[in-house]
Structure 1
Amino acid sequence: MKTPDIDATVRGLNPHRTTDQVSDDAWAELSEAVTTADTAAAPVVTLHRRQPRRLALVAACTLLIAGVVAATVVNRPHQDQPQALSFTERGDKLVVRVVDPNADPARYNAEFKKMGLDVTVMAVPVSAPWVGRMVSFSGRNEKDMNQLRLLEPGEQCNGTLTAADPGCQEGLELPKNYDGKSDVQFGRAAKPGELYVHTSSSATDEGEVLAGLTVKNKTVDQVLPLVRARGVGKVDYRLDKGPTYQEPEQTPPGTWYVHSAQTFAEGEVTLYVDATPAK
């Protein structure tokens, strides 16, 4: 077959890209050439498509990241627990803050001991807003007591931490070379019927059972529905005549005035009342 005829035939296979006319003789010659071609000597080549290097690197990085994530979430046997307390040196002082408020007090004591400090943490029942907080401390003598100071939320915090951060709540400040012996009370949730060791000055304070209510100089009849609406199951009364605040011989009349309210156990409220309004 002549070259021009072959070229025309090939172009004719794509009619959208040519206007050449292909003769019948050219088609016949091309057909014969194709069917009689010697294929015995034609090598068979297996094509191996090479993966682009960039894709291979991406795949390797993906596997590496997956391995790191897997290593992070797997709990290994005998893995050390995170710290329950944080210790920060500030000059000649040491600032101690609770990192894990749900930790067993034994962990706090172990970490104080590791720092060479004779400080014992005791978990005591407290009202709701004091759970997970250091509420008080005591020592053998005045010298021990004078070396300790409770820190308010936001006070002496690391970096840019503020009172809004979990790691910047109540803390304890003491000398780095503290040689005293002290007990620190740490608040825990009270069990049913258990009296609080520490509570707020008023049951209407933030976080307490009557938070946000105004009870002062309202009558008993006005206050009782408000108290019941908060789920309080038991209401006690005390005569607001200090310093003993005695229990009245009988339930005060509904026309008496409530001076204040306190809570000493979960689901219980004590109303301090008198026949006249508080001044």
Structure 2
Amino acid sequence: MTNDLHHIVSAIAPDPGPGLVPGARDLMNAIMDTEPTPTLAPARRRRRLSWRIALPAAAVIVATVTVLGWTTGLPGFGPRPVAALDIKQEDGYYVVQVKDIYADPENYEAQLRAVGLDLSLRVIPATPGLVGHVLATNGKKVDDRIKTIDQSGPCDKMGGCPIGLKVPVGYAGSAYITLGREAKPGESFQSTTSISALGEPLHCVPHLNKTVAEVRALLKERGIAIEGFTVADPRRALDFKQASSVPDSWYVQGGSLTMPGKATIGVFSSPMPADLVENVRKADGCPGM
């Protein structure tokens, strides 16, 4: 998307989190398919219960999980903790998948450091198109040596549908990784993108330069209410103000989700220039708006 478009999006919804990048319930289900496997030590030694720890494969991992808690262990051993990450070693890489998207960051980091990785991992609520993706943290790019594992088949997310991360065995660097996850009801998104982006509710739905009344109806069909407006001249997107209400006859120039079921819409008293509408259409990969 062009710089003009980024300015429009930022005016419509000032960035609430670590930044925007091009990535899930299906992913979560896929990740949660693998359960930890307990093993027993040799008979001559004291029997101890061990479990496989899943390690975060780093670049664009999906945030997916089972609730961190306690499960029943082997007879006589009592309950055992469920790992927040699933970490295994394959072909010279640590392959990492998130098993508990609500775990404390310290739990992730303890498991990572247990296998020698100096990685900081955060999982934050993100809009649908960014769920499962590695998000930019303070504008810093993730180390290229940290790879992503994408799911096979069709994908309706920005930049792909990752299900895990791969980190080279012996990786001596450090990295700060932020992953997007689904938000709970009533939870504000910490990372968001345009409401027309791939995976978002108005992707390829004609809405630019439609009236507020028309777009309100489109959103209502999708279970979304407008909670506020950003008023900005589309040619001067950085000069904007917030409003709780505007005339229904004003024109929509974009927007973003703020939490599940709620959105902020960008508006102005006159329509957007045709060239900007065309740029948004092309950036979203849509045939027309």
TM-score between the two structures when normalised by the length of structure 1: 0.53
Query: CA shift at 1:243, angstroms?
Result: 4.3
User: Displacement of 1:178 after TM fit?
Assistant: 1.9
User: Per-residue CA shift, 1:12-50, capped at 9, x if unaligned?
Assistant: xxxxxxxxxxxxxxxxxxxxxxxxxxxxxxxxxxxxxxx
Quote the Cα distance in structure 1 between the aligned partners of 2:184 and 2:128.
12
1:255 matched to 2:282? The reply is: no
Q: Who is 2:264 aligned against?
A: 270
Pair 109,188 (structure 1): closer, same or farther in 2 beyond 3 Å: same
Aligned to 2:124: 124
Give yes or no for contact 2:230–2:267 (8 Å, CA) kept in 1.
yes
**Residue 79 of structure 1, CA deviation:** 4.1
Could you tell me whether the CA contact under 8 Å between 1:153 and 1:163 is conserved in 2? no
Q: Residues of 2 paired with 1:212 and 1:267: CA distance?
A: 19
Deviation at 1:260, TM superposition (A): 1.7
For CA contacts below 8 A with separation 6 or more, give which structure has more relative contact order: 2
Offset of residue 117 of structure 1: 0.4
The 2-side partners of 1:225 and 1:252 are apart by 15
Alignment correspondent of 1:23: none
Tell me: CA distance 1:89–1:250, structure 2 relative to 1, closer, same or farther (3 Å). closer
What is the aligned partner in structure 1 of residue 82 from structure 2?
81
Once the two structures are TM-superposed, the CA of residue 120 in structure 1 deviates from its matched residue by 1.6
After superposition, the Cα gap between the structure-2 partners of 1:138 and 1:231, relative to the gap in structure 1 and judged at 3 Å, is: closer
Deviation of 1:129 after TM superposition, in Å, equals 4.7
CA deviations over 1:125-166 (Å, ceiling 9, x no partner): 2224544x2422659x98x94344452623xxxxxxx2579x
Q: Determine which structure has the larger helix proportion and give its number.
A: 1
Instruction: Answer yes or no: is 1:198 the counterpart of 2:191.
Output: yes
Alpha-carbon separation, structure 2, partners of 1:79 and 1:221: 55
Q: How does 1:143-162 map to 2 (within 5 A)?
A: 145-151=142-148, 153-154=150-151, 162=152
Equivalences for 1:149-188 in 2 at 5 Å? Answer: 149-151=146-148, 153-154=150-151, 162=152, 169-188=162-181
Q: Structure 1 residues 181 and 137, CA, compared in 2 at 3 Å: closer, same or farther?
A: farther
- Could you tell me which runs of 5 or more consecutive residues in structure 1 were left unpaired when the two chains were aligned: 1-72, 155-161
Name the amino acid aligned to 1:86: I
Report the equivalent of 2:208: 216
1:172-227 per-residue CA deviation (whole Å, 9 max, x = no partner) reads 3433222222221133444666542212x322445534456331221222112222
Shift in Å at residue 114 of structure 1?
Answer: 1.7
- Closer, same or farther: CA 103–87 of 1 in aligned 2, 3 Å: farther
Counterparts of 1:210 and 1:79 in 2: how far apart (Å)? 44
In the superposition, the TM-score normalised over structure 2's length comes to 0.52
Cα offset for 1:258? 1.6
Question: How far 1:116 moved relative to its partner?
Answer: 0.3
**Relative to 1, partners in 2 of residues 1:253 and 1:180: Cα closer, same or farther, differing over 3 Å?**
same
CA contact under 8 A between 2:127 and 2:189: conserved in structure 1? yes
Give the distance between the partners of 2:126 and 2:172, measured in 1 at CA. 29
Paired residues, number: 192
